[in-house]
Amino acid sequence: SAWDRLAAESARPDGSARVPLERLATIQGIEPRPKLTMKQSEGLALTAGYIGYLIEPDPRITGRPFEWKDRVALLKAEGTSAAEAKDSKYQAATLMLEIGMYVASADGEIVPSEVDHVATFLESRFRLDPTEIRRLEALKGILVEDPPSLAGVGKRVASLLDDTQREAVGRFLVGVAAAGGTIDAKEVRALRAAYKALSIDPTKL
């Protein structure tokens, strides 16, 4: 009931709710700390699933624990089990979304054309079911407000994508940077960092 009240307080027109992670942690009896443990973070995601919610970002997918000051999205699960989040197709889509939003935010501003480029690429590349599309849209909203870093990306990429796929992601990222009409020096630096994190030959940039 406490989760339901919090979700209702923060409800958005798209059916999601963006809530402070610290409020969910407090409901679950977790003491304040700068960063939750991985076990605590996965426990929150499992709890969300067991009571009928999807949570984004999901630490079981990102491999990163929540920070106390994070904001997360909650969505009501519709017709599927929310307790499991291991689909490799969706994992790859969230990975590309994170990297794309990292590049899009490199110049200090995320413009709609850059976000649209990311969304169009993901919709054409992955065959996501309606629930996965809802999750990805909710995650996109979180990342627009709080752009991601490249922390932990390399390990996730290695487990999900081969060389050819990583190079395709690299080309996609250049498109994200160019979507605003120009590519400035900050975006070039972000692209170089992304290529390094993705283990792509930098001469291909």
* Residue pLDDT, tens place only, 95-130: 888 888 888 888 787 878 888 778 777 877 788 888
Residue 2 has pLDDT above 80, yes or no: yes
Residue 82 has pLDDT above 90, yes or no: no
Residue range 28-42, pLDDT digits in tens: 999 999 999 999 999
Mean pLDDT of 133-156: 83
Percent of the chain residues past pLDDT 90, beyond the cut: 38
Residue 193 has pLDDT above 80, yes or no: yes
Cα–Cα distance between 22 and 123 in angstroms, integer?
Answer: 32
Residue 70 — very low, low, confident or very high, per pLDDT cuts 50/70/90?
very high
Residue 163 has pLDDT above 50, yes or no: yes
Average pLDDT over the chain, rounded to whole?
87
Residue 72 has pLDDT above 90, yes or no: yes
Q: What is the pLDDT of residue 5?
A: 95
Q: What is the pLDDT of residue 79?
A: 61
Cα–Cα distance between 41 and 79 in angstroms, integer?
Answer: 24
Q: What is the pLDDT of residue 86?
A: 58
Residues 6+ apart with CB under 8 A from 31: none
Residue 148 has pLDDT above 90, yes or no: no
Residue 150 — very low, low, confident or very high, per pLDDT cuts 50/70/90?
confident
Residue 182 has pLDDT above 90, yes or no: no
